[in-house]
Amino acid sequence: MTAKSAAAAARPTVYGVPRQGRNRELKKAIEGYWKGRVTAEDLRRTAAELRRTNWRLLADAGIEEVPTGDFSYYDHVLDTSVMVGAVPERHRSAVEADALDGYFAMARGTQEVAPLEMTKWFDTNYHYLVPELGPDTEFAADSSKQVAEFKEAQALGHTPRPVLVGPVTYLLLSKPAPGVAPGFDPLTLLDRLLPVYAEVLADLRAAGAEWVQIDEPALVQDRTAAELNAAERTYRELGGLGDRPKLLVASYFDRLGEALPVLAKAPVEGLALDFTEAAAANLDDLASAGGLAGKRLVAGVVNGRNIWINDLGKSLSTLGTLLGLADRVDVAASCSLLHVPIDATAESDVIDAQILRWLAFARQKANEVAVLAKGLAHGTDAITAELTANRADLASRAGSAITRDPAVRARTEAVTDADRRRPQPYPERTKAQREHLGLPLLPTTTIGSFPQTTELRTARADLRKGKIDTAGYEERIKTEIQQVLSFQESVGIDVLVHGEPERNDMVQYFAEQLTGYLATQHGWVQSYGTRYVRPPILAGDISRPEPMTVPWTTYAQSLTSRPVKGMLTGPVTMLAWSFVRDDQPLGDTARQVALALRDEVQDLEAAGTSVIQVDEPALRETLPLRAAGRPAYLEWATEAFRLTTAGVRPATQIHTHMCYAEFGDIIQAIDDIDADVISLESARSHMQVARELAAHGYPREAGPGVYDIHSPRVPSADEAAALLRKGLEAIPAERLWVNPDCGLKTRGWPETRASLENLVAAARTVRAEL
């Protein structure tokens, strides 16, 4: 096929859309159903209506092949578990009694049974439900959801392409079911799983599907030869089936790397590859693999996970190069649009008209994909107006004072090595801190937040609605701080916190106060199930017009003679839970945020705060998917933390906190940030973290959590003491802290009170044994 005919076929498509609806109708319907206020039938009707609206939105934006099966009441990996019949034993009776209630039981648990575990979908902020498999797992195909949604779209006049989570990715994302021997490798179930996929494909074919998309994002990670071999076998077998739809194997978030030649040689009809910045190497890899002769290439050139407009000219040039490498080139967003909000035009009340033109949410991205396909098929003349407007918008963004603030630029350029290092080594600092703070051995503290009560939420809502004024709101916050302080003093905690009652969210609170950040009104993105977040947008150069936390912290300090810990969200977490800039390296954005936070750290210290905690729960989360990308990431990430904190006096104690339990990959980074004290999530993994720190030779102080705040359960003093003794086997008493494993904002007061009393009692008991 010549390049010209490949271009003539260019077809715009996407892999998935936001599920919730413009007004979060899905959330409301599902939560209503849980509360018994919405019937199953009404929920189904709402869901069908949302799918219809979404397909219409795509078609109106110019998308020709629409995805189906990407819709979900909770999560598409859970849907896949249902599709392949992988229902855990403990959920089986619920599923048999009622499919929908059983589905939600797997997602959320019930009074009697625990839900499936939830974890992050690659390096996004979406969470999926981890399939639980074992040697006894028997799969059984249930294609009903896929077939029904395909037919639904077909009946509405669309050309639907069902989207499935691929079998290799499904197995690689799963874990051994409880009770299964730990060495069990889910990939050994591949032979049992493939016939189920074959059946689903046959059912979709019978329903009339010409193409089916099979997503294999797990293949963009570093894979062993055995795993690549599993991929090879999968697509040899599925490709070898008799009457089947054409198969499009999709990858996203990173380069396919070693998996590219495997899939290129497989007997499938198409590959979808990510060609955005994060996966740019796909282009060279594809060229060196000799292209995709005889195959359809779907080129993900529009970034599906950021909110910026595409550089259409640049994408067209990438597409032009690709024309020589495949039989047919189609245009897509790089991944499902699940990761972006629905429509940027909904923000016209809160975002300046000029800036709005720089933003592309799902609807705008679908349109960009369609415009690019048109340009590819018919030449740039066919899209002159769009290209001209795009160039103007890109120029307006590049030239804007928001994008480039000379003062911020000058300051980041002037950063020296001395700014990134505390001048005194840790042994000197710890001496100064000991003298200054006078804490006992095994000091007790908390991670920062105390219960976010209904009263606090109501106060914030009242302020928003104008029912109370700022002064009235601040009065309520102050009252809360007083209570939190007097409680901590009465229990006998050593390093106190103000409780973070003024914070709606640990990122949003700071984003709202930093120049260069944008907030949206309707920019909801699914985090998990019916939980949606509205990530702020790092739009321009970041600076801090005035102190953000100092008044609250100093107010709290004025109420007590014990040290009150200042609480900040670290630069890496600020980036991880926001939409980031695409026009400069992440490290540059992190440096700007770090300098703004550094000012806050300095101001806190100047106001008399001797202990300052900079939370970095996301440090592990944003770790690049492939090992090759990790050193560069860890370098800027740890540098940003040090830039935030290194300006303080030796006697000022810098704390940090991280939540994720698997620290193995980043233990060196935890060391490199050079915090004086780190508190970590550990209660559930029985001090594993303490042992890992010790094995690494971590030289500073650490507080592996002895109270698991993720459950309302109150740990007894004996239990906490036992964990502490375990901690002492790895970390000497001079360097061990006593604390819960995360913030208490999701807990109620009664269990918080009881748990912290027990925690202090445990510290006293174990101190007496030293």
Interaction between residue 617 and ligand GLN (CB under 6 A): yes
* Residue 615 contact among ligand GLN, Zn ion, none, beta carbon within 5 to 8 Å by kind: ligand GLN
Site string for ligand GLN, 569-588 (x = CB under 6 A): --------------------
Interface residues with Zn ion (CB under 5 A) are: 617, 659, 742
How many other C-beta atoms are found inside a 10 Å radius of the C-beta of residue 649? 14
> Does the annotation flag 312 for ligand binding?
no
Interaction between residue 448 and ligand GLN (CB under 6 A): yes
Q: For 179, how many CA atoms within 13 A lie in the half-sphere containing its CB?
A: 7
Residues binding ligand GLN: what is the number (CB under 6 A)?
Answer: 13
**Cα separation of the two ends of the chain:** 79
> Does the annotation flag 659 for ligand binding?
yes
> Does the annotation flag 210 for ligand binding?
no
> Does the annotation flag 447 for ligand binding?
yes
Q: How far is the CB of 506 from ligand GLN (least distance, A)?
A: 5
Q: Could you tell me the two tokens for 290?
A: 């000799």
- Of 134-142, 399-407, 445-453, 519-527, which part binds ligand GLN (CB under 6 A)? 445-453
- Select from 125, 430, 449, 758 the one that contacts ligand GLN (CB under 6 A): 449
> Does the annotation flag 681 for ligand binding?
yes
Q: Kindly identify the residues of this chain, within the stretch 637-696, that bind ligand GLN according to CB under 6 A.
A: 657, 659
- 3 state SS of 264: helix
Q: Could you tell me the two tokens for 499?
A: 């409780």
> Does the annotation flag 125 for ligand binding?
yes
Rounded distance between C-alpha atoms, residue 485 and residue 498, angstroms:
7
Interaction between residue 297 and ligand GLN (CB under 6 A): no
Nearer to ligand GLN, 316 or 447 (CB): 447
Catalytic residues: 710
Interaction between residue 250 and ligand GLN (CB under 6 A): no
Nearer to ligand GLN, 107 or 614 (CB): 614
Which ranges of 452-516 would DSSP assign to H, the alpha helix? 454-464, 470-491, 508-511
Q: How far is the CB of 705 from ligand GLN (least distance, A)?
A: 11
DSSP lists the bridge partners of residue 133 as 176
- Of 93-101, 192-200, 214-222, 443-451, which part binds ligand GLN (CB under 6 A)? 443-451
Closest residue to bound ligand GLN by CB: 743
Q: Kindly identify the residues of this chain, within the stretch 502-541, that bind ligand GLN according to CB under 6 A.
A: 506
Rounded distance between C-alpha atoms, residue 406 and residue 111, angstroms:
57
Q: Could you tell me the two tokens for 618?
A: 């996301």
Torsion on CA atoms 669, 670, 671, 677, rounded to nearest 10: 160
DSSP class per residue in 132-193: EE-TT-------HHHHHHHHHHHHTT-EEEEEEE-HHHHHHH-EEPTTS-TT--GGGGHHHH
Nearest to 216 by CA among 188, 254, 177: 254
Q: How far is the CB of 745 from ligand GLN (least distance, A)?
A: 5
Rounded distance between C-alpha atoms, residue 580 and residue 576, angstroms:
8
Q: How far is the CB of 556 from ligand GLN (least distance, A)?
A: 14
* Residue 209 contact among ligand GLN, Zn ion, none, beta carbon within 5 to 8 Å by kind: none
* Residue 506 contact among Zn ion, ligand GLN, none, beta carbon within 5 to 8 Å by kind: ligand GLN
Nearer to ligand GLN, 134 or 501 (CB): 501
Angle at the Cα of 644 from the Cα atoms of 638 and 650, rounded to 5 degrees: 100
Interaction between residue 615 and ligand GLN (CB under 6 A): yes
For residue 111, CA distances in Å to 7, 114, 115, 184, 693 come to 57, 8, 10, 29, 36
Q: Are 581 and 589 in contact (CB under 8 A)?
A: yes
> Does the annotation flag 672 for ligand binding?
yes
Residue 47, classified by CB atoms within 10 Å of its CB into exposed (0-12), middle (13-18) or buried (19+), is buried
Query: Binding-site residues, please?
Result: 24-27, 120, 125, 447-449, 500, 577, 615, 621, 657, 659, 672, 681, 742
Q: Please report, in range form, the residues annotated as the binding site for L-methionine.
A: 447-449, 500, 615
Contact residues for ligand GLN, defined by CB under 6 A:
447-449, 500, 506, 567, 615, 617, 657, 659, 742-743, 745
